[in-house]
Amino acid sequence: KRNEIRYERFFPVLERLKRDFPKLEIAVHSALIDRPRAKAMEAAGVDTVMMDVIGAQETIAQVYHLDRRVEDFEETLAALCETRMEVVPHVVIGLHFGRILGEANALDMVARHPVHSLVFVVIMPFYAAPGTFETPDTAEVGRLFLKGRRMVPDRDVLLGCARPAGMHKRVTDAYAVMAGLDGIAYPAEGAVEVARLIDRPFTQQMSCCSMKEAADGTIERKGRFTPCAA
Give the start-to-end residue ranges of the domains of the chain: 1-88, 116-230
CB of 137 closer than 8 Å to CB of 172 = no
Q: Record the pTM.
A: 0.90
Residue 54, classed as helix, strand or coil, is coil
Q: What distances in angstroms separate CA 80 from CA 86, 122, 154, 198, one per listed residue? A: 9, 24, 19, 37
User: Which parts of the chain have pLDDT scores under 50?
Assistant: 215-223, 230
Q: What is the mean pLDDT of the chain?
A: 91
Give pLDDT, residue 206. 77
> How many whole angstroms separate alpha carbon 38 and alpha carbon 165?
35
Half-sphere exposure of 120 (CA within 13 A, CB side): 34
CB of 219 closer than 8 Å to CB of 182 = no
> How many whole angstroms separate alpha carbon 228 and alpha carbon 159?
10
Q: With CA atoms as reference, report the closest residue to 158 among 226, 94, 229, 222.
A: 226
The type of residue at 163 is R
Q: What distances in angstroms separate CA 53 from CA 18, 77, 102, 120, 130, one per listed residue? A: 28, 8, 9, 10, 25
Please provide the DSSP assignment of 146-199 as one string: HHHHHHSTTSEEEE-S-S--THHHHHHHHHHHHTT-SEEESPPTTHHHHHHHTT
- Looking at residue 215, the DSSP 8-state letter turns out to be T
Give pLDDT, residue 217. 42
Backbone angles phi, psi at 28, to 5 degrees: -135, 140
Residue 93: which H helix or E strand, with range? strand 86-93
CB of 38 closer than 8 Å to CB of 79 = yes
> How many whole angstroms separate alpha carbon 209 and alpha carbon 69?
28
Residue 193: exposure state from Cβ atoms within 10 A (0-12, 13-18, ≥19): exposed
Give pLDDT, residue 122. 98
Give pLDDT, residue 3. 86
Total Cβ atoms within 10 A of residue 201: 11
